[in-house]
Structures are given as C-alpha cells and as structure tokens.
Amino acid sequence: MASSHYLSGTRLFVSPEGLSTALVKERQERKGSILIMTNDIVASEIDKHYNDLNGFYQFANCGVQGRIQEYMDKNLQSETAKACGLNIPITQTVDDKFDYRSVAYPCVVKPKMSIRGGKNIEICENEEVLRSAIVTYDNASDVLVQQKINKEKEIVLVGCSINGEVIIPAIVDKHRENKGGTTYATVRPITDQESDLVVKCKNLVNVIHYEGLFGIEFMKQEDLYYFTEMNLRTDATTYGVTVSGANLPLAYACNEACVGMVSPINMIVEWKDLKNVLSGRVSLLKWFREMKNAACKYYYSNKDIKPFFMFLIKRLH
C-alpha cells in the first residue's frame, strides 16, 4: 500500500517501540496529526505512551494511559459487555481453580488478548484435546475456555466514538474468513431488529470511555447475538463501510459525528479469500463471480491500481 498515489510519503519502523519513540520525539512539529491504528500491537504501543502523546496527536484512547491494554483482555471485555446487557458465551479462565470436568464440550480455546496469541482459536471436542490446546500457550493464564456457539451467522458492528457521541452506521455480515480474518462479507444498514443491540453497544463504548474507530463482533445462535470481542482500533471492515457510503475515518479526522448513508455492498479481500478456493471451501467459478460483483476490493481499485500490481509482483517473487 506504500505505493498508493494518495500517500505523500511513508516511513517504515522495525518495531512498535521505534514508532512510539519517533512519535514522542516529533510531537511538537506534528501536533494535530491523526493516528489511525489498524492492529492491536500498534494500538497497545500507542496506549503505553498516552501521557506523552495526548494533546499532540488525535488517536484512539480510553482517557487513561494503559486502559486500552486492559480492555484488550477478552475476559474483561466480556464481563463489561454482560454488564451492559449483552449476551456472552459461558467463559472460564485457566487458573489454579480451573476444573476440566466443569467444561461443556465442545468448547473453544482462545487467547485472552490478541497481542499474546493473535487469532489462535481452536475447537476442542473433549478434555484430551483441550489439555493439548492449552499447553501450546507459554502461559496457561493467557487462555480463555469458552462455550462453543453454533453460529448461524457472524456480524460486526462498525463505528466511531467522537467527543462522547457514538456512531454505528452499519453492520457487516461475515460470509467467509481465513485464519480468523474476514475475507468476504456484506455491508448493510442496521435493521429495526438490531436496534436494541446497537443501543447496548453504544453503552458499552461509553462505559469504557473509548474514543476512536472500533468494531464489535457477535455470533448469532437461535435468535440471540453473543458478544465475541471488541476491536479497540480501526476494524479491518471499516474500509468496506467507507465504500458503502459511511466514511468513519473522515468523520473521526474532522472530529464531526456525521457520516453518510450506507448502501448494501459486498466486500472481498481477494488474495486472502482465494485460499478458500484452494482449500475447496468455495468453487473457482463462484469466487470469480463474487469478486467481480464486489463493490469493495481490498487490493484492487481502478482509482489507485499501483498497490495492486506491486502486491502481485511481490507475490510472484
């Protein structure tokens, strides 16, 4: 993406620490700049330096240094979501009191924090598989064991909080994924049936005093939506919402809680979704048809084609 003609320049850092050091050092000359974090590692690093960066940059935060890192803990997220009236799967932490006999199988094992395990999620059918899954972690306390939801669908509520006002203009229906990341989905307006869910999500954002772009994920089972996690950063699906008509990053940059109307569109992450063809999950013909009709493609844009060809060249090498 560094070759995009929309960019005036790029800088690469070999570590998150290098980025934060540069931001602190240059805070006076770059005062007023906007930081858009697109992964948990960078969001965590910026949060560590909230006191040094606050007042110089505009960036996602919870008003207190270290608070975003705290809320990256999925167990704390779930407890807070439950207090806001959202449904959560039965969740257990692996500690000295953890009892394998108390687990209802099949269950899901996942990291408490994405920065300590990414999207390493495993379904365990019995105690033996569960024990094997847990020992793959360096520290068992980094693990959550959760009720498996037999999901009928998976959605993301994509939004932005600006000066205490929370905007959630769209829902993303996930259709396919690869290694936990959404690769094919539909962006659409919120329906009346989901309005109560939106109200509770807005309350959740306000309760943790979060400001910035976000995505809140749910799984649906038997007409109930179960909270999965909240991304305290720019969600990957935000681009699709922008293409659909609601430009959340622009609203955040302008500090204005006003976005456009959402039109239903399909979005695809072409190269990553192609792996679903190679694995046999979707036919090549169907994939080509869906890619052609997707209004939002993550790699190809006829308005900015150079990043696509640069990516293709790197792939071929």
How many beta carbons lie within 10 A of that of residue 11, not counting itself?
A: 8
d(CA 163, CA 151): 35
pTM of the model: 0.90
d(CA 160, CA 215): 8
Strand positions, DSSP E, 131-288: 143-147, 153-162, 165-178, 181-188, 212-221, 224-231, 265-268
Q: Is 146 exposed, middle or buried (0-12, 13-18, 19+ CB in 10 A)?
A: buried
- Residue 116 pLDDT greater than 70, yes or no: no
**121-139 average pLDDT score:** 87
pLDDT at 307: 79
List the single range of 73-82, 241-250, 257-266, 277-286 with lowest mean pLDDT. Answer: 257-266
- Residue 84 pLDDT greater than 80, yes or no: yes
- Residue 209 pLDDT greater than 90, yes or no: yes
pLDDT class of 117 with cuts at 50, 70, 90: low
- Residue 120 pLDDT greater than 80, yes or no: no
pLDDT at 317: 62
d(CA 32, CA 102): 52
pLDDT at 140: 73
Of 5 and 27, the one with more pLDDT: 27
Residue found by looking up tokens 């649906």 in the block: 220
**256-280 average pLDDT score:** 90
Mean pLDDT, the chain, integer: 90
Alpha carbon of residue 164 to chain centroid: 21
pLDDT at 69: 93
Query: What SS3 string covers 135-170?
Result: CCCCCHHHEEEEECCCCCEEEEEEEEEECCEEEEEE
